[in-house]
Amino acid sequence: MSSSDSILQSIRQALHRLPGQPISARPSIVPARAAGASKEEIRRFLEEIRKLSGTARQLTAEHLPTALQGLVEEQGIRKATVWNTPRLNELAVTTHLSALGVEIVPPGAEKHQLADCDLGVTEADFALPETGTLGLLSSAEKPRTVSLLPRVHLAILSPRALRPDLHQVFAEAKTQPYLVFITGPSRTADIELTVTLGVHGPKALYVWLV
């Protein structure tokens, strides 16, 4: 028996199948999830983020400066990089961080400079309540590295970003160059099957629905 035949035989045994046995019918496609009431979708989304070891909260724009101060003190933020988007500019995120003594690194800086940042601030274009997943549309103006290299990632979004299902996200993002999905802080269990946060990306994820 050749090595390929041996591999196929092992697969058949694992699947409890015989040679020539007909292939079973394809499972039915799960229908798209329908959106629930707005308050319930928000509650579920924030709850799922927390289950994934993220920190999630809902706040008003007026409370954003206080929230940023708390984050800077809690995480010891000295350097930050912030996406240059209309919404984040409207919320004056960079201004508030600068007032707290945080050094601002341009989001288009070299990768080693971004990796030296303690905080990366982005918007989330999409949010999936069912899994607590964020969707970020990345571009030259919104580099992926801001959400991947700093040790703390803060994603700010509005309730308008909530989507009931991935079908809708893919439909809206299909003409965009990059779509990044984020489900909780970076984690791995490669080392002795022990879950460790922050090995391949940010160690902490903060999600603020403003």
Could you tell me the residue ranges of all domains in the chain? 35-209
Alpha-carbon distance of 33 to 69, in angstroms, equals 38
pLDDT at 194: 62
Nearest to 79 by CA among 46, 115, 54, 49: 115
pLDDT at 148: 93
Tokens representing 59 are 């706040």
Contact 141, 128 (CB under 8 A): no
Alpha-carbon distance of 101 to 103, in angstroms, equals 6
pLDDT at 4: 76
Indicate the SS3 state at residue 114.
helix
Contact 49, 132 (CB under 8 A): yes
Alpha-carbon distance of 98 to 21, in angstroms, equals 67
β-bridge pairing 133-138 and 126-128: antiparallel
Alpha-carbon distance of 39 to 120, in angstroms, equals 28
Fold of domain 35-209: Rossmann fold (3.40.50)
pLDDT at 188: 65
pLDDT at 196: 63
Chunked in runs of 10, what are the mean pLDDT values of the chain (210 residues)? 78 83 80 86 95 94 97 98 96 97 96 96 96 93 94 96 93 92 74 61 92
DSSP secondary structure, 133-164, as one string: EEEEEE-SSS-THHHHSSSEEEEEE-GGGB-S
pLDDT at 186: 64
| Helix runs in the chain, H state only | 3-15, 38-51, 64-75, 86-90, 93-99, 111-115, 145-148, 166-173
Tokens representing 152 are 């703390």
Return left, alpha or beta for 53; rule: phi > 0 is left, psi -120 to 50 is alpha, else beta. left
Contact 204, 185 (CB under 8 A): yes
